[in-house]
Amino acid sequence: MSRELRNALSCFATGVTVITARHEGQDYGLTCSSFNSVSLEPAIVLWSINRTSSTKQPILESGGYTVSVLAVEHSELAMKFCRDSHQERFRGVEIQRAPSGRAIIEGAVAWFDCDLNGVVSAGDHDILLGKVTDFHSQQGNGLVFERSRFGKVGEVA
């Protein structure tokens, strides 16, 4: 992708999530800013993953994933889940377990536990659809990413 296109796309502010899966007794996770809702009835969400991501196969083989919507104070954690090795990503991170056994980031403003519902090929990424089986939300400000910087949304009109 050209640097100019990447810069233009970065003008669109997005929320920041950590996607987790548990496969063969090991936790896998990565930072994601492409999370979005698809349908309320049935409850379906989506996100996209680079086809070359080392996290892709464990997520697909596990049959599902959990999305933790990060709180504004989670910017360092967001970087940890896109830089460190799979084993290091969870080191020192407080988690809870969803009913499925997948990791939920402690302090997330919301989480969605999902069964994999489909995969759509799209260029250099795959779009993963998930049927929401459980979820929770709480008070707090979500982390936002815009123009390669973390922040929070100001007052919403």
Q: Where are the domains of the chain?
A: 1-148
Going by pLDDT thresholds of 50, 70 and 90, the confidence category of residue 157 is very low
Homologous superfamily (CATH) for 1-148: Electron Transport, Fmn-binding Protein; Chain A (2.30.110.10)
Tokens of 135: 């979820």
The confidence score (pLDDT) of residue 5 equals 87
How far CA 108 is from CA of 20, 55, 93, 115, in Å, comes to: 13, 21, 12, 20
- Is the pLDDT at 19 greater than 70? The verdict is yes
Tokens of 153: 């949304």
CA distance 33 to 37: 13
- Is the pLDDT at 35 greater than 60? The verdict is yes
Going by pLDDT thresholds of 50, 70 and 90, the confidence category of residue 150 is confident
- List pLDDT tens digits, range 57-110: 999 999 999 999 999 999 999 999 999 888 899 999 999 999 999 999 999 999
Name residue, tokens 């233009």: 8
CA distance 76 to 88: 13
| In the chain, % of residues over pLDDT 90 | 80
Least confident of 25-39, 92-106, 115-129, 143-157: 143-157
Asked whether the CA dihedral 2, 142, 95, 24 is positive or negative, the reply is negative
